[in-house]
Amino acid sequence: MSREYPARPIIGVGIVIWHGERVLLVQRARPPRQGQWSLPGGAQQLGESLADAARREVLEETGLAVDLGEVIATVDLIERDPQGRVRYHYTLIDFTAEAHGAALTPGDDAADARWFELDEIEGLGLWSETLRIIELARARRRR
Pair 126, 37: CB distance under 8 Å: yes
Q: Is the pLDDT of residue 143 over 80?
A: no
Local structure of 128: helix, strand or coil: helix
pLDDT in tens, 51-64: 999 999 999 999 99
For residues 56-80, average pLDDT:
94
Torsion angle (degrees, nearest 10) of CA 135, 137, 139, 143: -170
pTM across the whole model: 0.91
With a CB cutoff of 8 Å and minimum separation 6, the contacts of 29 are 108, 109, 110, 111
pLDDT of residue 141: 87
Pair 16, 133: CB distance under 8 Å: yes
pLDDT in tens, 11-50: 999 999 999 999 999 998 787 678 889 999 999 999 999 9
* Domains of the chain (ranges, CATH numbers): 10-142 (3.90.79.10)
Percent of the chain with pLDDT over 70: 99
Element (H, E) at 80: strand 66-80
